[in-house]
A = this chain, B = another copy of it.
Amino acid sequence: MAGRADANRRRIMDVALAELLRDPDASMDQIARAAGVVRRTVYGHFPSREALIGALVDDAAEAVGAAHAAAVRGVTDPAEALARSILGVWEIADRYRLLISLAQRSVTMEGILKRLEPVRRAGAALLRRGLKEGRFTSPLPADALMYVREQVIFGLMQAVNDGVLAPEEAGRSAAVTTLTASGLPADEAAELVARLP
């Protein structure tokens, strides 16, 4: 009965991925039931909850690292290397998309996004209009660009928290970056933001 054990182990990991997405605090019992297995069996494969999640993350991180390395090998132009890296990482990260999103999805985050819904809609409208008028250029639809805008802001907040970015001008930098991410030429974006009060 060697094959069944391996298959169960794999299935448990797959299901755990999905289950932890729905609820980052999903209990071992929830995961076990979802995998069509008894809690005790999960402990037969992973000695602890932490070990299970560790195995999940290890899988993902290893794959991402390998994809990046393969993508940039021998490429000299940094822009092209960056693009290749993203493409490469994306492809395999796609399988772990749910795991990544797990991180963003704390109960708290749910609440925050829900309550910021009006602001998000307003921002999306701005982007939509900008795209329609040709002021912005992007392969992304406005809704997706809104995700980018939000994440750029959150990301730079995090950068400030971590001491990587000085707080004084971080706001302006965030503005410039969001604009350029939306396809506005960098110099134009910088100039525009610099002109603001």
Q: Which residues of A are at the interface with B, using a C-beta cutoff of 8 A? A: 20, 24, 53-54, 57-58, 60-61, 64-65, 68, 72, 77-87, 89-91, 93-94, 97-104, 106, 108-109, 111-112, 115-116, 118-119, 122-123, 126-127, 129-130, 133, 135-141, 143-144, 147-161, 164-165, 167, 169-187, 189-190, 192-193, 196
Shortest CB distance A31–B (Å): 14
User: Could you jot down 13 A-B contacts, CB within 8 Å?
Assistant: A64-B119, A68-B119, A72-B126, A78-B126, A79-B136, A82-B130, A83-B178, A89-B153, A103-B154, A138-B176, A138-B177, A143-B164, A148-B181
Whether the pair B106, A171 counts as a contact (CB closer than 8 A) is no
Tell me if A's interface is mostly helix, strand, loop or mixed: helix
Whether the pair A122, B68 counts as a contact (CB closer than 8 A) is yes
Q: How many copies does the complex hold?
A: 2
**11 new A-B contacts at CB < 8 Å, known A180-B180, A184-B186:** A72-B122, A82-B130, A82-B178, A83-B196, A100-B112, A143-B165, A144-B159, A147-B159, A147-B165, A148-B156, A180-B182
Cβ-neighbour of A140 out of B102, B141, B165 (below 8 A): B165
Whether the pair B143, A78 counts as a contact (CB closer than 8 A) is no
Whether the pair A81, B126 counts as a contact (CB closer than 8 A) is yes
